[in-house]
Chains A and B, each alone.
Chain A
């Protein structure tokens, strides 16, 4: 029973480097989300997807891109990492507006 799996769990990047975070879910959920968590800010939505091949911007999309080529996967890309993108990133999936299931998070540090 994997649920939502994020890779990698930890990463350190240098400013200007690029990387992709992978989220995979095995619950056949239509909706998938990427959030970032910063102290005192709660979780803020970066991008989300309501189905394969569709994506939409959330509250804090700048500096990130996403793709949903397969229903079970949702990729988050950073083209040119900045120190302000140091955060913990969470992926989640849900069946429409029911409860979301979260991955264990990716701790990203940009130096």
Chain B
């Protein structure tokens, strides 16, 4: 069975400093991994995805994530936080090849950006 653990429920950074949101996953098959962002009272928007191509994935708005199979991690980073990055972020796993097309969500990390 697949599962996702987001290691921090809340992260607070100052504007202009790096962002690190941590995600560990468990999967029996070759996983597809995603990061979604949700701004207050909005739907979910895809930031980036890993689907077994390059392990370093670049997404929108300067975010990137690195797939590390040995560590079962898919941490999200950004070199310099902007006020507009304040939102909730979800790490998501889907097991490719398992015949199960459920997306399993982590519980989310709320990012606060301090001016």
How many residues does chain B have at the interface if contact means C-beta atoms less than 8 Å apart?
23
A58 and B102 contacting across the interface, CB-CB below 8 Å: yes
A48 and B105 contacting across the interface, CB-CB below 8 Å: no
The residues in A between 83 and 111 inclusive whose CB is less than 8 angstroms from any CB of B are: 90, 92, 94, 96-105
With A40-B107, A41-B107, A42-B90 given, is the CB distance from A99 to B49 under 8 Å?
A: yes
B101 and A97 contacting across the interface, CB-CB below 8 Å: yes
Residues of B within 8 A of A78 (CB): none
In the assembled complex, B32 has its CB within 8 A of some CB on chain A: yes
Residues of A within 8 A of B101 (CB): 31, 48, 50, 94, 96-97
The residues in B between 64 and 94 inclusive whose CB is less than 8 angstroms from any CB of A are: 90, 94
Q: How far is the CA of A99 from the CA of B96 in the complex (A)?
A: 12
Residues of B within 8 A of A44 (CB): 105
B102 and A98 contacting across the interface, CB-CB below 8 Å: no
A24 to chain B, nearest CB (A): 15
8 Å CB contact of B44 from A41, A48, A96, A102:
A102
In the assembled complex, A75 has its CB within 8 A of some CB on chain B: no
Q: How far is the CA of A97 from the CA of B93 in the complex (A)?
A: 9
B43 and A99 contacting across the interface, CB-CB below 8 Å: no
Chain A residue with Cβ nearest B93: A97
8 Å CB contact of B103 from A100, A103, A105:
A100
Residues of B within 8 A of A100 (CB): 103
A103 and B43 contacting across the interface, CB-CB below 8 Å: yes
In the assembled complex, A74 has its CB within 8 A of some CB on chain B: no
Q: How far is the CA of A104 from the CA of B49 in the complex (A)?
A: 21
In the assembled complex, A12 has its CB within 8 A of some CB on chain B: no
Q: How far is the CA of A33 from the CA of B104 in the complex (A)?
A: 11
In the assembled complex, B25 has its CB within 8 A of some CB on chain A: no
In the assembled complex, A27 has its CB within 8 A of some CB on chain B: no
In the assembled complex, A43 has its CB within 8 A of some CB on chain B: yes
Q: How far is the CA of A100 from the CA of B105 in the complex (A)?
A: 12
B96 to chain A, nearest CB (A): 5
Q: Chain B residues in contact with chain A, CB under 8 A?
A: 9, 32, 34, 36, 42-46, 49, 51, 90, 94-96, 101-108
